[in-house]
Structure 1
Amino acid sequence: MRKTCRCGHVMELELRTVVYAKRVEIRNVPVFACTDCVSYEVLQPVKPDLKECISTLGEQPSKQDVSFGERNELADLFHEQLLAWPDATDREMEHRMQHAVEERINLLLDIMGYAQKSNDEEWIETTQRRLGQLSGFVWQAHFSNAV
């Protein structure tokens, strides 16, 4: 998946490891990377959760390895799809991601039903957060200037 960089060249979507405070590795963060001007851009819909993840670590975090997919549903789906279909075209990946998002939303809605039946407020809150990470994702909004 690609989009045009500010420098005019192509940025590829990759899963990167973000290092915070030289002690924390946050794996599988969806990032656009331009090899020409060496700039990077975190995929916009996951940026708030990455910021929240970093803020919870504090200024002096202990050495650790964090899977971003465990904190963000969209990042998890990108990870799954990019591993399963590494050679997919942008169009194929768009269709695969749309299908994967729909399936995950349906699964989370089922989970929400169980959480509500069991009156588990923490489970309900977690499921609502996970649904929110997916519900607003619109492919064209983030890949509209794809090459």
Structure 2
Amino acid sequence: MRKLCHCGQEMSLDFRVLIFEGIIEIDRVPVFECEQCSHYEVLPAIKPDLLALLGELKASREQGLVLFNEVSELADVMYGIYRTWSETDSPSFESLLDQKCKERINLLLDVYGCAKGMEDQVWMEDISKRLAQISDFVNNSQFSRTN
């Protein structure tokens, strides 16, 4: 999983801690990182989720640590693959990501059915939000556009 940096070198996927307003650490944020010039960019596919989180954090004035993969369904799937995948393994990270995203969508749909059966509106709304995060990515193939 790579992208070209503005310096001409390849950037690779990594996960970083971002510090928001000097008081909140947001860990496990997927970024493209260049080893040559140390430039990094948040993955375009997760940027909307990150911006939404930053807005919530600013409004709440909380302090501490947030694990981004607990907020973004796509980041969670990516982080799960990243922890165990190596470049020598097959299939490629991208095809594994596609497969795992589809599996997560199916799981979330099953959980939504359970929440609906229990008539738990709050749970249904949370699952709907998570489904939207990951299905938008799969439907729009956002990740493949960043290569």
TM range (shorter): 0.7 to 0.9
Given that residues 10 and 34 in structure 1 are in contact (C-alpha distance below 8 angstroms), is that contact kept between their aligned partners in structure 2? Answer: yes
The aligned runs of 1:1-147 (5 Å cut-off) are 1-58=1-58, 61-88=61-88, 92-138=92-138, 141-144=142-145, 146=147
Provide the TM-score with structure 2 as the length reference.
0.88
* 1:36 Cα deviation after fit: 2.7
Q: Secondary structure at the match of 2:137?
A: coil
The alignment yields a C-alpha RMSD, in angstroms, of 2.2
Q: C-alpha separation between the residues in 2 aligned to 1:40 and 1:70?
A: 22
Change (3 A) 1:61 1:120: same
User: Identity, % of aligned pairs?
Assistant: 37
Listed as ranges, the gaps of 5+ residues in structure 2 are none
Listed as ranges, the gaps of 5+ residues in structure 1 are none
Q: Secondary structure at the match of 1:45?
A: coil
Q: Comparing both chains, which one has the higher relative contact order based on Cα–Cα distances under 8 Å and sequence gaps of 6 or more?
A: 1
Q: C-alpha separation between the residues in 1 aligned to 2:106 and 2:35?
A: 37
Q: C-alpha separation between the residues in 1 aligned to 2:124 and 2:83?
A: 30
Q: Which runs of 4+ in 1 moved over 6 A?
A: none
Q: C-alpha separation between the residues in 1 aligned to 2:116 and 2:125?
A: 10
Given that residues 2 and 90 in structure 1 are in contact (C-alpha distance below 8 angstroms), is that contact kept between their aligned partners in structure 2? Answer: no
Provide the TM-score with structure 1 as the length reference.
0.88
